Structures are given as C-alpha cells and as structure tokens.
Structure 1
Amino acid sequence: MSTTDRRRWLALAVVMTASFMDLVDATIVNIAIPSIQRDTGAGFSAIQWITAGYALAFAVGLITGGRLGDIYGRKRVFLIGTAGFTAASLLCGLAANPEMLVATRMLQGAAAALMVPQVLSIIHATFSGEERGKVFGMFGAIIGLAAVTGPLLGALLTQWNLFGLEWRPIFLINLPVGIAGLLLGRRFIDESKAPKALKLDLVGVALATAGLLMVMYPLVQGRELGWPVWGYVLMAGGLAVLAGFVRYERSKSARDGSPLVELSLFRAKSFAAGVGVQLVFGAACGIFFLVWTLYMQIGLGWSPLHAGLTGLPFSVACSAAAGMSVQLLVPRFGRKVLQGGALITAAGALIYIWESARYGQGVHSWQMALPLVVMGAGMGMIFAPLTDAILSEVPKEHAGSASGLINTTNQLGNAFGLALVSVAFTGSTVVHAFGHAMLWMVGALAVVVLLMAALPKRGAHAPEAAAVAGSEVGAPADEPVLVG
C-alpha cells in the first residue's frame, strides 16, 4: 500500500471513529437518564432538556455546519467540531447541577453540528468510484454497530459506577477518543473546500433558532408550570417568527441566491411530503426512546444493565431490517416497504401497550422481545431507504441542499418529540403513562403512512448517491434518529 493510500484509509478511520462517537453519544445518554435524575435532582422538564436541547442545537446547526466546511475547509471545521464536542463532553461530565448539564448538552449538540456534516464531505473528497461504494457500506456497518453498542455501553458505565462517578463516565469516555481524533485527524486528513461556496445566512439561523425555541420551551416547561397562558402566547409568537423566517428566506433567495433553506425544493410533492414524514417520524422516535427508558428503569425499577440488555433485540432487528430493505425489498416493492415499516412499527407498539397493561409490574424482559423485534424491524425498514425516496424527484443540482434539509428536519422532529413527552407521558402510574405515550406514537405513525402515499412508487437515486448528497450540507443521509 502506498503512502497516499495509507493516509486516505487512516483519514477514513478518523472520521468513522468521530461519527461512531457521535452516534454512540446519541444513544448512550438515554439509558443513564434515571441515574442523572437521582444524582442531580433534575425535574421532569430538565430531563427533557438534557435530551431535547442536544437534538435542537444539533438540528439548527446542521446546515450551517455543512456550509462552514464548504467555505473554510472541511478538515478545519471537522477538527474544530471535534475539539468542541470533546470539550463539551468534559463539561457534561463535570456538570454540578441540571442547569449546567442542559447548557453543556446544547453546546455538545452545536459542536456535533460542526463535526458530523464534514464526515461524508471528507469521504466524498477522498474516495471516488467503486471505492466510495465500499466506504459507504462500511459507514452503514458503523451505524448498526453504534446502535447496538450505545445502550449497552451506557448501561455498563452507569452500572459500574466507576470511581463513584455515577453517570458521568458516559460523557468522559469521549475524551480519549476525541483527543486521538484531533491528533490523527490533523496529521492524516487532507483539506478540501467547495469550489463555489454559498454565503452564510446568519439572519436565517437566528430566526429559525428563535422561532423553534419559542415553540419548544413552553412544551417542555408547561407540565411543571401548570400550562400558563404565557406559554400559549409564546408558542403562537414562535409560529409567527417561523412564518417570518419563511418570508425572509424567500426574499433572500431572490436577492442573492444563498438562503439557509432552499424553498424551491418544496415544489416537488414527494419532497414536501417526505419532509413531513421526517418531522412526524422523528417526533415518534423522540417520544418512544425517552419514555421507554423511563418505563423500564423508573416504572419497573430495572437496573441500567437490565434495561440495556432488554433493548438488544430491538437494535439487532433494526440493523438487520435496514440492510435487507435497501438491498432486497425496496428495489422490488418501492414505497410500500416504507409504508409497511410504519405499519409494522405501529403493530409492535400496540403489542407493547397490551403487554404492559396485561403484565403490569410483573413483566419480564423475554416478554418484551416480541414487540421490540417487531418495532425494530419496522423502523429499520424506514430508516435506510427513506432519504433516497424523498430525493428521487429533487433536481440533482439541489440534492445536497435537499439532503441537509431532510436530516435537519429529522433532528427537529426528534427534538419536538422529546418536548411533547410532557404531554404524552401522563397517567396515574409510570406504566399507565407509558401506554398513553405509546398511543401518541401509534397516532404519529398513522400520519406517517398517509404522508408516505405522496412519495414516488420507486426511488430514482441510488442509495450511495443519496448518502453522497447528504455530505454536502447535512448529516449522514442514512443515519437513524435516535434520542440524543
């Protein structure tokens, strides 16, 4: 192997490791939520912000992060994002109270928004042709491994209570990985930029961030504050700000052609419906993953390791179904696979609701295996092929912008789902609240099935092309949205 080849593959290992760190961090936190709550005295809204704050900061920064890489250099922005993510992880691990943890989690999400979009951009600039296909296959394997590893690693680190640090090692474990990534990335990653980078739309970023926070803050805090009138006023104001954001983006597009969001993409019916699918499906996932953890550890009193091992059938089924759907099912059956995946996920959720009501506090892990395998298989059938289906009617010159918007919408949906937990997770007991929240998830999946009817019957882009498109301005195109 030549020196150049060795550098390229070492650079790939660095960005893959960074991506793995981000994906594991997205799943590792959930399993430690009850431990964080006990140790810090965090209220229900603080618990929501620890997860939703990360997802919101990540979502709002994704497109901006991708464009910063195009303008200033992907290697430079990747290293800055990695340094920020590592420093934020240290601050999370040192957090003295819930407020500090929420703030540092949002900082961590913002840093991830700088780091993650550069991963596929660097791959795209470093590899070409047949090699790139192999690399994206490896990337899919990393995603599957992270989905399985995250919950188990979080459970073990929390259960072991290393040095009496309780939940803190789930963040501190990022330090050696991040430092190694910085040192090796600086040495082996080659710099690359877009030949014609767009300017940053800072006003658009400010409007979008303000509008989303105005909508989400009352949703998260409302339950603890007794749903005050000002909360509804703030949400209405947030919707008005978001409407103003749309008007501003339209005018900016006409003025200099560099808006934060390319609104012309919504002229394609499949894209508009697909963004709706991402938003609603992301919300369903956001609700499920948080309430599932609360149900097992607080409602049933299980240890983190018990809960982590219980989730293994879900992770394995999800990874297996994702590969099968892209390679075998979607080429033959098209969008019916995605609709079937949503219906299968809903069926698994209904089985789970029945089991939780039937067995109550006496339910065992093996009894949960069936609904978890069904739900995992259903979600896997959606995660992998969805981006390609949404992009199929988008002009190729806008594929990068479209994929970035798709992934941003996915993360926003996740954040909204976490915010809605205050509304969905209600009941006389945690077990009853779990069933109620799962019904919200089933309702969201029903909406997803209807919206999917507007997707093309067959995708026009290859999955690799969709992944490459995602490298331009957004997160990985086939990255599953788990709770952050």
Structure 2
Amino acid sequence: MTPPRFDATRRRVIVICMCAGITTLLDQSVLNIAIPALRTSLHAGTTGVQWIVAGYSLAFGLALVPGGRLGDVHGRKGFFLAGLATFTAVGAVAATATHPGTVIAARLLQGAGAGLVNSQVIGTIQDVFTGQERARALGLYAVTSGLAAALGPPLGGVLIAAAGPDPGWRLALLLNVPFGLATLVLAARHLPPPRSRTHHTGLDPVGLVLVGTLALVAMVPLIQVPATGRAAAAWALAGCAALVFLPYWQRRYARSGRHPLLHPSLARSAPFALGTVVAMAQFGSSIAASLVLTMFLQDGLGLSALGGAAVTLPSAVAMGLSSALAWRVVRRLGRHTVTVGLALGMGALLASGLATLWVPAPLLPGVLALTQLCTGAASGLTVSPNQALVLRHAPPEAAGVAGGVLQMSQRIAASVCVSAVSGVYLHTAARGGALHHRSSYWHASLTLVTVLGVALAVSVLRGTRKDISAQEPVRTSDDSNMALRNGT
C-alpha cells in the first residue's frame, strides 16, 4: 500500500507548514548547542540559563490555544504571517543581545510568535487535508519538526567551530532569520485565504484566561527555582482554582448557546487525553535529554561544539529513516507502534546514562553516538504515529484549538522537563570535576527514563482500550453544545 499523493495546491500548503516547523524548532534546538558559549559570553547564571531555555516553551505554550481559537474564528493566514514575522524579527534581537535579560525577553516574544504560527499550522492541515491525506500531512509535519530539532545541534556546532564561541552562538541564533523570511514569502503567496466563519465568532475570554493560568502554574514555578513557602502555596492555589473552575465554565458557556474554548468532544475523548499525555512525556523528555547531553559533552567531557554536534548527528539520521518507515510499521502494529518506540527510547536513555558511569572517557563519545542512533529511531516511531492518533478525534470546527491544546501540553511538558532536569544536572555538576558531571548526567537520565515510563504505561493502557470514537461520527459544535445543554 503506497501513501496518498497530494495535488499541487496541497503540496504547496504542506511545504509551507513544514518550513514553519523547521524555522521554529530549529531555532530552539540550535540554542541547546550554543548555551555553553552564550552562558560564558553573557555571564549568565543558572536561573538565567533556565529562563533562556524554558522561557521560549513557556510563551510558546501560552500562545497556542488562543492562537488556535483565533484561527478557528477569524481564519488562519493573517495570524500565521503575524506570528512568523514577530518570530523572525525578534530572533535578530536575541542574536545581538549583550545582556542575559535581553535574550530572555527576546526568547519570550519568539516563543509567543512561534506558538501563534504552529497553532495555525495544525489547523491549516486539518482544514486542507482529509482522511489518509491528513494522516500523511500530519506525519510529514511531525517528522520535519523532529528532524529540525535533531539537526539543530550539528548546524550550531559547525557555526560555533567555524566562527568561535562568541560570534558562533550569535550566528546560531540568526539561523532562523533566512528560514523565516523565505517561509513568509511562500505563505503570503500560497496559503489559503482566510475563510469567513460568521457562525462562530466568540472567543471565550474567560476560558482563555483559565487555560493560560493553568499553563503558567505548570511552568513558572519550575523555571523560577525554587518556589517555596507562600509562593509555592499561591501557585498551587491558583492552579487548583483554575482546574476546578475551567470545566464548570466550559459547560456554562456551552449551555448559553455559545462555543466554549475547549470543544466538548475533546473534553470527553479518552483517546485524545491519553495520546496527549504520551506526546507530553515524549516531547518533554526529548528536549530535556538533548539539552543535558549537549552540556555534558562540552562541560563534562570537554568536547568542542562541533565534537558534541557529531555525537548527536546519528539521532537526526535515524529519526529520518525510521519516520519514513513508520507508516509501514503502523500497518502491522497499529497504535502499538508508539509503545514500541517509547520502550526503545527508554532503553536508549538508560544505556546512555549507564555508559557515562562505566565507559572510559576516550570511548564515551562513540558509545553515546550509538545510543543517539537508538534515540532517533525511537522518536521516528513515536512522534508522527501518536500525533495522527490524537488529532483524528478533533472535529473540523475545533481543529486549531485541538492542535493548540496538543502542542501547549507538549510545551508545558518541555518547560517542566527542561527546568527540572537541567536544574538537577547544573546544581549537581556545579560541585566541579568530571566525576560530578558523570553522576549528574546519570541522575538526569534516570529522571527522563521515569518520564518515558509514564508515557509507556499510558500507551499500553491506550492499546488495551476499544477505540469506539473511531467508529462513531464526530459531533459538530452545535451537536455537542446541544448535548451539553441536555446534560448528555
């Protein structure tokens, strides 16, 4: 069975979506390899580094659901262009910064722009493609994003090796500018024009505030380490209040005849919820693992940026190959493909952590490159199959919000994982010495193995459920609101 082919119009749309994924995720992954040079150049402390890395995911996550909602209501093209223009312009500011605070502020704005763009990407794919074409388009977008994340460190390593640490990290952050400009031109010419959606104009501002509060509560206390005493209690109280009030508000908003932020069919869909948990754990652990490995290779083993990038390159190659073959595996194993990928990823993380404890330093980069090969293969088997499984449950009129919820959840997970795991590594490694770096990496790896273990358990649970939602037609928003008003 061959995958479906797109016509010329759809090919242009998916190319633009893939370019957007490359632009926004390449920028973040390049930063991972540039962090040691940036930290030295700007004299950034541990908290500053955590904000530079995790602040992007914070703003990205906060922008996704509002961005998806705005695209669902008013059309996607204008918000796509505005978000990408902001992302590209602020990238130049980050690259020319002379103070950590400037980089932090720029990364927050970049994250907001990237969130606005990516929420429109998922909604556009849902609008333009149907059936097997949609599954393939989502898979291509996920694969492209994953490859961008994996290729960032090698590209950044080459720039830093060629130009030196201080100009090198700035050039690495400027990589997004040509990609962003090219994507802007393509999107302005070829993205579908905004469609009138006069039947669906409410934005549910209270729902937006509540979802934003939940995102902040999940991410900020872990970035601003440590949150203790009254601060921790205040964050916990705000989170509990938003979590309790959100479902009540969504039901009340629907009973009034309006359209709630979170589509009722999403709230009731166990497959959507379980798949989102899997995506959160996989994405968060992969981003954190890449960052910690990069810091260990340069700070712990003393490798250059280029040497560290060479160790991570097999991950990109393996992900590309396994992603290309993933649809064949899905034909045989179905949703269990995701479970296999998660198990392989856990094994690769555990092996890399054990290697840092036992393998001599001269041999360690080669061993870690082999574990990266397994990590990339695992990601290819996990990312696009899981995303396709999750988004198949989204109704057309909530496509942007569904994509926004999924990606926001992933960004929350990335921010939490990056903050927590990098904190474990940095605070332990600060004691000095190669042995401390090895021990720090081992403990960080164990933490990430635990995160993937949760995803594996959820994936197994999902595999045992009978997916009745795939056999039933998805309700429209009007049907769902009527059901809520009737109490069903």
The TM tier, using the shorter chain, reads 0.7 to 0.9
Q: TM-score, normalised by structure 2?
A: 0.82
Structure 2 equivalent of residue 103 of structure 1: 105
**Equivalents in 2 of 1:340, 1:129: separation in Å?**
25
Alpha-carbon offset, residue 359 of structure 1 = 2.5
Q: Answer yes or no: is 1:239 the counterpart of 2:239.
A: yes
**Equivalents in 1 of 2:294, 2:78: separation in Å?**
37
Structure 2 equivalent of residue 204 of structure 1: 207
- CA gap 1:421/1:238 in 2 versus in 1, 3 angstroms: farther
Structure 2 equivalent of residue 446 of structure 1: 453
Alpha-carbon offset, residue 379 of structure 1 = 2.4
Alpha-carbon offset, residue 140 of structure 1 = 6.0
Structure 2 equivalent of residue 475 of structure 1: none
- CA gap 1:141/1:421 in 2 versus in 1, 3 angstroms: closer
Amino acid at match of 2:367: Q
Amino acid at match of 2:42: T
Alpha-carbon offset, residue 366 of structure 1 = 1.4
Unaligned runs of 5+ in 2: 1-6, 471-488
Structure 2 equivalent of residue 338 of structure 1: 338
Q: TM-score, normalised by structure 1?
A: 0.83
**Equivalents in 1 of 2:286, 2:202: separation in Å?**
33
Amino acid at match of 1:321: S
**Equivalents in 2 of 1:129, 1:239: separation in Å?**
38
Structure 2 equivalent of residue 474 of structure 1: none
5 Å matches for 1:46-445?
A: 46-122=48-124, 139=141, 142-143=144-145, 145-161=147-163, 165-193=167-195, 195=197, 196-223=199-226, 228-243=228-243, 244-262=245-263, 264-325=265-326, 327-359=327-359, 361-391=361-391, 401-421=401-421, 424-425=424-425, 426-427=427-428, 429-445=436-452
Alpha-carbon offset, residue 23 of structure 1 = 2.5
Specify which of 18, 24, 48 is matched with residue 22 of structure 1: 24
**Equivalents in 1 of 2:14, 2:334: separation in Å?**
32
- CA gap 1:220/1:255 in 2 versus in 1, 3 angstroms: same
- SS of the counterpart of 1:284? helix
Alpha-carbon offset, residue 209 of structure 1 = 2.6
- CA gap 1:165/1:370 in 2 versus in 1, 3 angstroms: closer
- CA gap 1:10/1:323 in 2 versus in 1, 3 angstroms: closer
**Equivalents in 1 of 2:111, 2:138: separation in Å?**
24
Amino acid at match of 1:337: T
**Equivalents in 2 of 1:137, 1:448: separation in Å?**
20
- SS of the counterpart of 2:195? coil
- Is the Cα contact below 8 Å between 1:155 and 1:304 reproduced in 2? yes
- Is the Cα contact below 8 Å between 2:127 and 2:399 reproduced in 1? no
Alpha-carbon offset, residue 399 of structure 1 = 6.0
- Is the Cα contact below 8 Å between 2:150 and 2:313 reproduced in 1? yes
Structure 1 equivalent of residue 475 of structure 2: none
- Is the Cα contact below 8 Å between 2:424 and 2:440 reproduced in 1? yes
- Is the Cα contact below 8 Å between 1:268 and 1:394 reproduced in 2? no
**Equivalents in 2 of 1:453, 1:300: separation in Å?**
37
Alpha-carbon offset, residue 456 of structure 1 = 4.3
Alpha-carbon offset, residue 274 of structure 1 = 2.2
Alpha-carbon offset, residue 277 of structure 1 = 2.1
Alpha-carbon offset, residue 412 of structure 1 = 1.6
- CA gap 1:363/1:263 in 2 versus in 1, 3 angstroms: farther
Deviations 1:151-177 (A, max 9, x none): 221112222237962411122233333
Unaligned runs of 5+ in 1: 463-484
Query: How well do the aligned residues superpose, as a CA RMSD in angstroms?
Result: 3.3
Amino acid at match of 1:218: P
**Equivalents in 2 of 1:264, 1:134: separation in Å?**
23
Alpha-carbon offset, residue 239 of structure 1 = 2.0
**Equivalents in 2 of 1:144, 1:350: separation in Å?**
21
**Equivalents in 2 of 1:461, 1:329: separation in Å?**
23
Alpha-carbon offset, residue 435 of structure 1 = 0.5
Structure 2 equivalent of residue 482 of structure 1: none
Deviations 1:103-155 (A, max 9, x none): 11110011112222333545666678998788667646644652443222111
- Is the Cα contact below 8 Å between 2:65 and 2:208 reproduced in 1? no
Amino acid at match of 2:112: A
- SS of the counterpart of 1:222? coil
- Is the Cα contact below 8 Å between 2:122 and 2:399 reproduced in 1? no
Alpha-carbon offset, residue 360 of structure 1 = 5.5
**Equivalents in 2 of 1:461, 1:215: separation in Å?**
30
**Equivalents in 2 of 1:186, 1:207: separation in Å?**
33
- CA gap 1:246/1:424 in 2 versus in 1, 3 angstroms: farther
Amino acid at match of 2:331: P
- SS of the counterpart of 1:455? helix
**Equivalents in 2 of 1:393, 1:337: separation in Å?**
19
Amino acid at match of 1:296: L
Alpha-carbon offset, residue 8 of structure 1 = 7.5
**Equivalents in 1 of 2:153, 2:159: separation in Å?**
10
Alpha-carbon offset, residue 371 of structure 1 = 1.7
**Equivalents in 2 of 1:104, 1:16: separation in Å?**
24
Deviations 1:312-356 (A, max 9, x none): 11122222222322x222222223322222221111111111110
Amino acid at match of 1:169: L
**Equivalents in 2 of 1:421, 1:127: separation in Å?**
38
**Equivalents in 1 of 2:139, 2:172: separation in Å?**
28
Deviations 1:452-481 (A, max 9, x none): 13324687999xxxxxxxxxxxxxxxxxxx
- CA gap 1:245/1:91 in 2 versus in 1, 3 angstroms: farther
- Is the Cα contact below 8 Å between 1:360 and 1:431 reproduced in 2? no
Amino acid at match of 2:291: L
**Equivalents in 1 of 2:461, 2:224: separation in Å?**
35
- SS of the counterpart of 2:169? coil
Aligned residues with identical type, % of pairs: 30
- After TM superposition, the structure 1 stretch with the greater mean CA deviation from structure 2, 137-146 or 296-305, is 137-146
**Equivalents in 1 of 2:166, 2:463: separation in Å?**
54
Alpha-carbon offset, residue 88 of structure 1 = 1.2
- CA gap 1:329/1:309 in 2 versus in 1, 3 angstroms: same
- CA gap 1:251/1:100 in 2 versus in 1, 3 angstroms: farther
